[in-house]
Amino acid sequence: MSSKKLKVVVTRRLPDPVETRLKELFDAELNVEDKPFTAEELAAAVQRADVLVPTVTDRIDSRILSRAGDQLRLIAQFGAGVDNIDVATAVQRGITVTNTPGVLTEDTADMTMALILAVPRRIVEGVKIIEQDKFTGWSPTWMMGRRITGKRLGIIGMGRIGQAVARRAKAFGLQIHYHNRRKVAPHIEAELDATYWDSLDQMLSRMDIVSVNCPHTPATYHLLSSRRLALLKPHAYIVNTARGEVIDEGSLARMLEKGELAGAGLDVFENEPAINPKLKKLTNVVLLPHMGSGTIEGRIDMGEKVIINIKTFADGHKPPDRVIPAML
């Protein structure tokens, strides 16, 4: 199959260098207006595309896949997570799925660390006070936050991003704890001075700050359920830069509202772009519009991975970032 003839349908606007390269290499159909595809538009796209390039906001479920034409052989996701794609059904239909892992690690870890600092130190509250002209001068007991150094950080999910968060947090004097499906390699544990908890419940009950860095899969949906959130100390903070669905957002909002948790820093939400109205009213939360991986460099790196995956596939080889159901 000649890569020049591959029909590549891209569902969202991508950085200019990426779109230019896609046009050079393939018969690329770009989304110039950057308007999200409806379900019907996605169904039409899979009927005409050899390769679909969706993003995490495109729901490629079994209903969409059932309408795919025989020519659709690759779904090259622009993003690391693939919880928006029914990978098992795609593979069953002979469609390869790829993603863009690794390139967003440092950017997401930076944003996680920013939230770990912002919430306990009340940075956004301080900004709003200045903006509202409410600053009347320094006083010893005003706008006091919590010290970061010496606190226990519990990381849920010790993959690439979790480890990158741990490295940053260690430099800030935090004690590193983690829960993962399995222990990380001994040399990584030693480097991070990290303590492994086989029981998530036991870890949660002892942490000062909890950072969610695991993917969203059926197994991690509401991993932080109402029951588990209740295990946290009232002075604990939660930071989530992974996926909103990992936390029971309604329960989290109620606990924050009642003062049963000290605060939260959220870059992702359970029903994006909708956000629980209770969260918006609270002063002890920092809410960001899914910006964790949003750097120019990161987005271009993602696009380059998409292109490599398509090109490798077009040349008759297995793409380097192939996703298989057993990985999920």
**290 is known as an active-site residue:** yes
Beta strand 96-98 with 322-323: parallel, antiparallel or unpaired? antiparallel
**187 is known as an active-site residue:** no
Find residue 6's DSSP bridge partners. none
In angstroms, rounded to a whole number, what is the distance separating the alpha carbons of residues 293 and 267?
10
**191 is known as an active-site residue:** no
In angstroms, rounded to a whole number, what is the distance separating the alpha carbons of residues 148 and 128?
22
- Given the residues 177, 243, 245, 249, select the one marked as catalytic: 243
Output b/e per residue, 300-326; b: 16+ Cβ within 10 A: bbbbbbbbbbbbbbbeeeebebbbeee
Tokens of 69: 């034409």
Tokens of 37: 């595809």
- Given the residues 125, 272, 304, 322, select the one marked as catalytic: 272
- Given the residues 167, 222, 254, 290, select the one marked as catalytic: 290
The tally of CA atoms less than 13 A away on the side-chain side of residue 141 is 0
First vs last C-alpha separation in the chain: 30
Beta strand 263-266 with 237-240: parallel, antiparallel or unpaired? parallel
The position carrying tokens 């909708």 is 274
The position carrying tokens 């297995």 is 318
Asked whether the beta carbons of 79 and 100 are under 8 A apart, the reply is yes
Asked whether the beta carbons of 105 and 160 are under 8 A apart, the reply is yes
Ramachandran angles phi, psi of 75, nearest 5°: -115, 105
Catalytic positions: 243, 272, 290
